[in-house]
Structure 1
Amino acid sequence: MTTWEYATAPLLIHATKQILDTWGADGWELVQIVPGPNPESLVAYFKRPTNASAR
């Protein structure tokens, strides 16, 4: 059975692609992007399989 770990990260509008590419290179899959606490910010939700899943 696959188990997951999750993370959230703020996204800067002017660097969204770079931020997402960096997380993706580390094995994180983007799940959702939602509005942040102010109109200029976004929050990204990521998931990736844990090491326990490989057993």
Structure 2
Amino acid sequence: MSDLVRWEYLNAPLLIHNTKAILDNFGRDGWELVSVVPGATPENLIAFFKRPVQS
């Protein structure tokens, strides 16, 4: 089963005034954005990311 991809996941706050920089930083680390949902306040969002587990 060497073709099986294993994933790790991360959720992180995403401030709407600095969205591009935050997403670019996660992307450089290999994280792919999966979803964004509302946070506790209108200025905050929660971003969900995934990336393949490095073996």
Matched pairs, number: 52
Superposition misfits of 4+ residues, deviation over 4 angstroms = none
TM-score by length of 2: 0.89
TM-score by length of 1: 0.89
Structure 1 residue 37: deviation in Å? 1.1
**Which blocks of at least 5 consecutive residues in structure 1 are unaligned?**
none
Task: Tell me which of 43, 46, 55 is aligned to 1:43.
Answer: 46
**Which blocks of at least 5 consecutive residues in structure 2 are unaligned?**
none
State the identity %: 62
Alignment root-mean-square deviation, CA: 0.7
What is the rounded CA distance, in whole Å, between the counterparts of 1:22 and 1:3 in structure 2? Answer: 22
